[in-house]
Chains A and B, each alone.
Chain A
Amino acid sequence: MNCAEFQDDLPQWLEGDRKVESEAHLRTCPACHELIADFDFIRRAAGQLQESAEPSPRVWNSIAIALRQEGLIRDGERESATVTVFPRPRGRWLNWLAPIAALGLIAFSLWTYQNGSPESAGQSALPPKVQTASMSLEDRQLLDMISARMPSLRQTYESDLQDVNAYIQDAEQSVHSNPNDEEAQESLMQAYEQRAMLYEMALNRSLP
């Protein structure tokens, strides 16, 4: 084997797929030996750049301002904070979300606290109690908003949301029992992506 051949095989060699001929060439060739040493150095040095730079404080300041404007940071409202927990994508969306969220919330509170059971409210659009009981507040608020905006989609969102939550639960369990299992981690990411998509679709949709 000569240097050119060795270098052709180098990508495989670096991946750990090492031919006997390559090993032999390396022992006799200082130039290729140095090449390997340099690649090794580059890789080690590059890994140290991972957290090498510090952003200027103005980055956090801009983020904080945006979070306040979008209502994601609500300082001083901690007690009542549990009522408006929506992820807030930017844009025009905000104009209509606030009233809708409030409406949805009012409807939800009325329904929960006055009627006790959804059936007694006499509304067929309301979901069966058993199913929503297991949902988080965010999920119920999302569904309330959908009931208000797109009643025909409520059922779809509700059953999909339940499925996705079950997906996350199973995937989280897999990751906890096998923390180094790459496929389990991948499944968990996919489960989160599903939930994120559901929220994004519900909240970003162009509506009147």
Chain B
Amino acid sequence: MTTARKTLGNGLTEAEAIERAKQGDGEAFETLYGLHKRRVYSLCLRMTGNTAEAEDLTQEAFLQLFRKIATFRGESAFSTWLHRMAVNVVLMHLRKKGLPVVPLDDTLESDDDVPKKEPGAPDLALTGSVDRLQLQRAIGDLPPGYRTIFVLHDVEGYEHNEIAGLVGCSIGNSKSQLHKARVKLRELLKTSRAEKANKPRGA
């Protein structure tokens, strides 16, 4: 997670950029933004599925962090904190929209949600037959609660205990919802592949 001693395009290390940003240096802020913008924006986009919202949230996450920049000493926690802040900004936004951030508890949900595959002839495996765009679309089609857990775990690489802390659910819940999300995603990908085979979508 740390970006120790990384030298950036303009010859600044991240730590130097942070120090200069504290002094009000606009270029230093831009350097820090440039270093992390793709990661933060991608996160916002995957979690909301909407570019306009993702842009607003990216802006909000960076502003929140930059407002706190004077409290930083050193660089070791910068990116970790930025990403965490981005996640929090998105989760807060989803909560405000009334979307479920925490997936429903297992006890409230029947097991029928996860269709058990009966033995039989397997379909084609997904590998090699699904492209990035299809995957992005399928993630966007996941129900919001599943999408949150899936993006945090499989895209962002957070551990279940971290996810539990971020979204406010139990670790067990995070694990079981991730599994359901993957099952659901697999179905979506298979459907999308079938559709594509029948009538190719135009870009």
Contact = CB atoms under 8 A, between A and B. Distances in A.
Tell whether any CB of A sits under 8 Å from a CB of B in the complex: yes
B132 A67 contact: no
Interface in A13-50: 14-15, 29-35, 37-39, 41-43, 45-50
A108 interface: no
A80 to B, nearest CB: 10
A29 B41 contact: no
Given A30-B122, A38-B125, A87 B24 contact: no
B157 interface: yes
B99 to A, nearest CB: 20
Interface in B157-184: 157, 175-176, 178-179, 182
Interface stretch (A122-130, A144-152, A185-193): A185-193
A199 to B, nearest CB: 5
A157 to B, nearest CB: 14
B148 interface: no
A172 interface: yes
A103 interface: no
B80 A185 contact: yes
Given A37-B127, A67-B29, A192-B81, A29 B119 contact: yes
Interface string B11-36: 00000000001111110011001000
Interface in B91-130: 114, 116-120, 122-123, 125-127, 130
A143 to B, nearest CB: 14
Contacts of B68: 87, 196, 199-200
B122 A75 contact: no
Contacts, number: 198
A100 to B, nearest CB: 16
B71 A55 contact: no
Contact of A7 (B30, B71, B116, B151): B116
Interface of B: 1-2, 21-26, 29-30, 33, 37-39, 41-43, 45-46, 54-55, 58-59, 62-63, 66-74, 76-77, 80-81, 84, 114, 116-120, 122-123, 125-127, 130, 132, 135-136, 139, 150-151, 154-157, 175-176, 178-179, 182, 185-186, 189
30 contacts: A4-B116, A11-B178, A14-B179, A34-B122, A37-B125, A37-B126, A38-B126, A41-B125, A46-B151, A47-B154, A47-B155, A49-B155, A50-B43, A50-B156, A51-B38, A53-B45, A55-B58, A56-B55, A58-B55, A62-B59, A72-B29, A73-B24, A73-B25, A81-B23, A82-B23, A85-B24, A138-B22, A138-B71, A176-B76, A199-B68
